[in-house]
Amino acid sequence: MLSYQLEAFGRPLSQVIRDTPQPQGSEVVVRVGSCGVCHSDVHLHDGYFDLGGDAKLDMTRALQPPRTLGHEIAGTVVAVGPEASGVQLGDRRVVFPWIGCGSCSLCEAGQEHLCNSPRALGVHRDGGFADHVVVPHPRYLLEFGSLEEEQACTYACSGLTAYSALKKVAPLGPRDPLLIIGAGGVGLSGIRLARQMFDTPPIVVELDPAKWDIAREAGAGQVIDPKADGALKSLVKATGGGVAAAIDFVGAAATFNFGFGALRKAGKLVCVGLFGGSTPIVPAMVSMKAVSVMGSYVGSLQEMQELMAIARSGVLPGLPLTTTPLAQATQALEDLRAGRIRGRTILKP
């Protein structure tokens, strides 16, 4: 099998050729057809997440090179272990990568994506920047029906992350405006899903004018430039006191502050993005406005099953995609790091 592995943080990925794995027990081997490149892959490639103020979250212990990155994976089943059931050779599947230990209280509650002993593909185990990947159990393989494989793989992170965050602010009625911050790959997934889940098109905040058109195409009701004079004040006034919910798909200090400031009383701010930075929170304002601030990290297997049912129905518009050969994996990471990507880049072995 061919893979492009992280052998040293911050260095170009290395081409590695080794024996194609043979599945053991309940394992399934999937021939990778498409693998999305996520912004978290950039952070993992760097070896840290920026926490602001020169502080960094060190990922060099959690991710130990050599490691094959890539967690948005779709492909075809080519081998099954002797204990694997419910899957056959030739099945086309998208992979749920956020795998836990399977035995802790979080895993038993269906929250294995939050497990403290994770086995996530592309992070703790080899992922999809390869032509084959080993999946521990068939339950992590989901049908994608007639969807294009390149679109299907994005649901494993971009789509799932957006869906889980949106569920945290539901229900929203026609007089409960929703603010989505960021129109990158995950933000675009949030916009298109919001149009299916709620009555009113979301208001979208996006710094880059080049992304405004794709935000509108995904279903944004209004696009706001946060740099415009009085943008936040105008938004609060136009919504009659603020939005019912804001979802920050960027996760920078400025975007967090914008989302928090846009909330009406009893509003909810969900922080999803991992861009980095830090910002103070005034406790008195949390209390006086009775607002909620919560985090959302990818999503559960149950949520991905729900999401794939929606996706298979054909109601969701596709993400803007750029396909590129697997050999260009390092360049894809650099392009994403530099902000040159609209939508998602999909690696093709």
Report how far residue 283's alpha carbon sits from residue 54's, in angstroms, rounded to the nearest whole number. Answer: 24
- Same domain as 36, residue 144: yes
Domain residue limits at 320: 2-157+299-348
* End residue of a domain, out of 295, 323, 340: 295
Count of C-beta atoms within a 10 Å radius of residue 248: 27
Whole-number Å distance between alpha carbons of 235 and 232: 5
Q: Please give the model's pTM, rounded to 2 decimal places.
A: 0.95
Identity of the amino acid at 280: P
Residues 94 and 197 in one domain: no
Separation in Å, CA 117 to CA 65, 120, 172 = 18, 9, 35
Asked whether residue 200 is assigned to any structural domain, the reply reads yes
Q: Are residues 146 and 175 in the same domain?
A: no
Within 10 A of 225 (CB to CB), how many other CB atoms are there? Answer: 13
pLDDT tens, residue by residue, 68-109: 999 999 999 999 999 999 999 999 999 999 999 999 999 999
In a domain, 162, yes or no: no
Same domain, 135 and 200: no
Domain assignment present for 322:
yes
Is 11 in the same domain as 122?
Answer: yes
Helix (H, G, I), strand (E, B) or coil at 234: helix
Angstrom distance (rounded) from CA 236 to CA 91: 50
**Looking at residue 276, what DSSP letter applies?**
B
Which DSSP string corresponds to 156-202? IIIIHHHHHHHHTT----TTS-EEEE--SHHHHHHHHHHHHHSSSPP
The reply to whether 47 and 153 lie within a common domain is yes
- The answer to whether position 40 is within a domain reads yes
| 255 and 213 part of one domain | yes
Shared-domain flag, residues 318 and 242: no
Q: Are residues 27 and 135 in the same domain?
A: yes
Task: Report residue 213 as tokens.
Answer: 């058109």
164 located within any domain: no
Q: Check which CATH number belongs to the domain holding 331 and give it.
A: 3.90.180.10
Tell whether 14 and 150 lie within a shared domain.
Answer: yes
Over its C-alpha atoms, the chain yields an Rg (Å, rounded) of 20
Return the pLDDT at 61.
85
- Report if residue 238 sits inside a domain: yes
**For the segment 278-325, what is each residue's pLDDT rounded down to a tens digit?**
899 999 999 999 999 999 999 999 999 999 999 999 999 999 999 999
Domain boundary among 278, 295, 312: 295
23 and 148 assigned to the same domain? yes
CATH number at residue 254: 3.40.50.720
Residue 320 lies in a domain: yes
pLDDT at 52: 79
Q: Are residues 189 and 153 in the same domain?
A: no
How far apart are the C-alpha atoms of 1 and 12, rounded to whole Å?
19
pLDDT tens by residue, the chain, 349 residues: 999 999 999 999 999 999 999 999 999 999 999 999 999 999 999 999 888 778 888 999 889 999 999 999 999 999 999 999 999 999 999 999 999 999 999 999 999 999 999 999 999 999 999 999 999 999 999 999 999 999 999 999 999 999 999 999 999 999 999 999 999 999 999 999 999 999 899 999 999 999 999 999 999 999 999 999 999 999 999 999 999 999 999 999 999 999 999 999 999 999 999 888 889 999 999 999 999 999 999 999 999 999 999 999 999 999 999 999 999 999 999 999 998 998 899 999 9
Angle at 50 between CA 45 and CA 52, to 5 degrees: 170
Joined together, the tokens standing for residue 109 give 């509650």
Domain tally, the chain:
2
